Structure 1
Amino acid sequence: MHYRRLGSTGLPISALSFGAWVTFGDQVPRDEARNLVAAAWDHGINFFDNAEGYANGRAEQVMGDVIADLRLPRDGFCVSSKVFFGSAKDPRPTQRGLSRKHVTDACHAALRRLRVDYLDLYYCHRPDPDAPIAETVHAMDTLVRQGKVLYWGTSEWSAAQIEEAVDIAARHNWQGPSMEQPQYNLLHRERVEVEYAPLYAHAGLGTTIFSPLASGLLSGKYDQGIPADARLGREGMGWLQDLVLGQNAAVRLA
């Protein structure tokens, strides 16, 4: 396994990570989840990616349970969570977003579900137009100073929003964002390669990308339609099916 530093930080994470989205909490049983995490660990993966919204928090609970069951050494792996969508099926206003309250509450809930004392990486899962960026940056800085988060970052934020967060943190001597988690694959390159490019050197931004195979499209598995056991065929995944099939049509037209 290859390991790379996270942006300008000193944290070495595996070039491949293992994430809990879709599969954990809903699709695979706990014993299979345990086998998957064990296989990832045995092959050198040290970064396990999660979010409060995955299966309404159940994915993080499964991840925490199997990591504890496997007795992985806490100093040997990195675990993440993300805050924005909330973990309730029908979240109330204070149960979602990037207010200081929800950023803090969601961190504490993730710690309980993942059964850890701190999060290695903590992401703002989407930008929140209703929360001042300064409030979110301050909340993240507080969690870092409390030892509950080591590094925080963003996911699907614009370069301008990340730049604002970096500038606010610098002015107040707060901990700024260290990483962004964008979609990046052969069909989605501009944001990573063009929009974020000035931030890599200027802000020391690192990336932990998602969907490198465009949700399976680039693997060729959907060339003949949607297999019965594919995630696109699962209940509630119509939005992803429309997205992937739309991408496939675009590729064929190109």
Structure 2
Amino acid sequence: MNLVGASDLDIFPLVLGGNTFGWTSDEAESHEVLSAFVAEGGTMIDTADGYSHWVPGHSGGESERILGSWLAGRDDRDDLLIATKAGSHPEYRGLSARSVKAAAEASLGRMGIDTIDLYYAHRDDPTVLLEETVRAFGDLVQSGKVRYIGLSNYSPDRVREWLRLSAELGVPRPIALQPHYNLVARNPYEDRVAPLALAEGLGVLPYSALASGFLSGKYRSAADAVGAERAAHVSRFFSPAGLAVLDELHRIGSRLGEEPASVALAWLRSRGEVTAPIASARNVVQLSALMAGARLKLNREDVRALNEASAEGGMVQYEDAQQEDAP
């Protein structure tokens, strides 16, 4: 188990991403994945209030509602850790104090819980003074509606400014960062975010850990991704560099008897500052490879081989997309 930053949140080394709930997985499938994740030792589930407003006919909050309907039938809420995010729901855009408070209360209502264990600012809002946002998140902690604060998609400079303001205002500081990071998108995370996380003692829970499914190994060419829900996001990785990473994942996986997805997640966990990667599963079959990746330990030679293979492919620069806010 791993502690998230300077907190008492002790988590299984894989976080289950909830962006598939109500999008690529219906309610019954989502419940099956959630139950299987917990049955195998999983503890933290990550979602956001905006999931999945990009789907035609959806308005946001679908993932939280499905998570709430699953939680309602269980008596182990105290053993589970729920993370969600503010700022992307169409009705509560941005991070003004009013939006943050309303978004948190709406999320609590959709999930049927009293407290959010880890509440992220989903992305920076330059239209609002950062001090206002910092105070709003601090108020949620002090009111008992939120236990801990996290930041997602924030630049290192803005993270530093948030930390400075937290100390200046005397409010709880963030304990976690949720950056975009994987074998084919290694920067700017490694150059700019990782050193900050280490220096400040922040937990790191990277999203898009499998690069929209590219690192799962199910696509070996761009043609394989045609018609897939995430085809537009996967297509950018079908370069000679990206395919070299896939080849190495398959080579190592074949030797170890593991799926490429498991190897990709184990590589992320080999990074000392990474607390746990976030990955999602459309069904229970996909979940098995994720859980294996949470337990697999790569040797130094395998880590070095993946580092070398991804040196070129890992330079893909991430462009924000609603569907990829969590893996």
Q: Same fold (TM over 0.5)?
A: yes
Equivalent of residue 232 in structure 2, options 217, 242, 245? 242
Once residues 67 and 227 of structure 2 are traced to their aligned partners in structure 1, the CA distance between those partners, rounded to angstroms, is 22
Residue correspondences, number? 236
C-alpha contact (below 8 Å) 2:141/2:148 kept by paired residues: yes
Once residues 128 and 154 of structure 2 are traced to their aligned partners in structure 1, the CA distance between those partners, rounded to angstroms, is 14
Once residues 150 and 26 of structure 2 are traced to their aligned partners in structure 1, the CA distance between those partners, rounded to angstroms, is 31
| Residue-by-residue CA offset, 1:10-60 (whole Å, 9 max, x unaligned) | 211111111210x21233232222111110000111001110100210110
Once residues 43 and 193 of structure 1 are traced to their aligned partners in structure 2, the CA distance between those partners, rounded to angstroms, is 31
Percent identity between matched residues is 35
- Residue aligning to 1:111: 108
Q: Map 1:7-46 to 2 at 5 A.
A: 7-21=5-19, 23-46=20-43
- Residue aligning to 2:324: none
TM-score, reference length from structure 1:
0.87
Equivalent of residue 63 in structure 2, options 59, 62, 83? 59
Once residues 66 and 75 of structure 1 are traced to their aligned partners in structure 2, the CA distance between those partners, rounded to angstroms, is 14
Q: Which amino acid aligns with 1:76?
A: D
Q: Per the alignment, in what secondary structure is the counterpart of residue 181 of structure 2?
A: coil
Q: Per the alignment, in what secondary structure is the counterpart of residue 190 of structure 2?
A: helix
- Residue aligning to 1:251: 242
C-alpha contact (below 8 Å) 2:100/2:137 kept by paired residues: yes
Once residues 16 and 197 of structure 1 are traced to their aligned partners in structure 2, the CA distance between those partners, rounded to angstroms, is 18
Matched, 1:213 2:210: yes
| Residue-by-residue CA offset, 1:50-91 (whole Å, 9 max, x unaligned) | 10100210110001111222x1412201001111111x3xx4
- Residue aligning to 2:45: 48
Q: Which amino acid aligns with 1:33?
A: S
Q: Map 1:111-130 to 2 at 5 A.
A: 111-130=108-127
Once residues 175 and 187 of structure 1 are traced to their aligned partners in structure 2, the CA distance between those partners, rounded to angstroms, is 34
Q: Which amino acid aligns with 2:45?
A: F
TM-score, reference length from structure 2:
0.68
Q: Per the alignment, in what secondary structure is the counterpart of residue 61 of structure 2?
A: helix
Provide the aligned C-alpha RMSD in A: 1.8
Equivalent of residue 185 in structure 2, options 185, 188, 192? 188
* Bigger RCO (CA 8 Å, 6+ sep): 2
| Residue-by-residue CA offset, 1:169-204 (whole Å, 9 max, x unaligned) | 111211111111111111122333321233234322
Q: Per the alignment, in what secondary structure is the counterpart of residue 82 of structure 1?
A: strand
C-alpha contact (below 8 Å) 1:64/1:113 kept by paired residues: yes
Deviates more, 1:156-165 or 1:222-231: 222-231
Matched, 1:223 2:220: yes
Which ranges of structure 2 fall in alignment gaps of 5 or more residues?
53-59, 245-311, 313-327
Q: Per the alignment, in what secondary structure is the counterpart of residue 121 of structure 1?
A: strand
Matched, 1:85 2:88: yes
Once residues 171 and 114 of structure 1 are traced to their aligned partners in structure 2, the CA distance between those partners, rounded to angstroms, is 33
Once residues 226 and 30 of structure 2 are traced to their aligned partners in structure 1, the CA distance between those partners, rounded to angstroms, is 21
Shift of 1:121: 0.6
Deviates more, 1:222-231 or 1:73-82: 222-231
C-alpha contact (below 8 Å) 1:4/1:15 kept by paired residues: yes
Which ranges of structure 1 fall in alignment gaps of 5 or more residues?
233-240
